[in-house]
Amino acid sequence: MHELSIAMNIVEIAESEAGRRNARIEAVHLRLGPLSGVVKDALLSAWELACENTVLAGSRLVVEDVPLVVYCPRCKAQRTLDSISFLCPECQSPTPDVVHGRELEVFALEVGDAA
């Protein structure tokens, strides 16, 4: 399962960070874009399994959805899209230039007491 290996990658990142700070990780905050290729629900359900037998067991994965933002060359402006259509909602021009939406990144860790 694709999402399980991604979850395990995130666990590894958080584990090494926990080791570096000598802290227990309570929650991992992740930014996820619609073009990341990752299904949020599948990732969330894989989380517990990925954390098994690691220092992250019992931690939470908090996913923040990143909107799909493109640059419209005709409007010369950034536009937020509601669907993955790649058309400017204002002028209907094609907008292949993705500004946000591919994110799959850990941006914060909630740490508890020292492990």
Question: For the chain, percent helix, then strand, then coil, each to nearest 5?
Answer: 30, 35, 40
Among 1, 12, 13, 74, the residue binding Zn ion under the rule CB under 5 A is 74
Q: Which spans in 1-115 are helix H?
A: 2-21, 40-51
Closest residue to Zn ion, based on beta-carbon distance? 88
Tokens of 44: 């969330």
Among 12, 64, 65, 90, the residue binding Zn ion under the rule CB under 5 A is 90
What is the pattern of x (binds Zn ion, CB under 5 A) and - over residues 14-53? ----------------------------------------
> Rounded to an integer, what distance in angstroms lies between the CA atom of residue 26 and that of residue 110?
5
Among 38, 72, 81, 109, the residue binding Zn ion under the rule CB under 5 A is 72
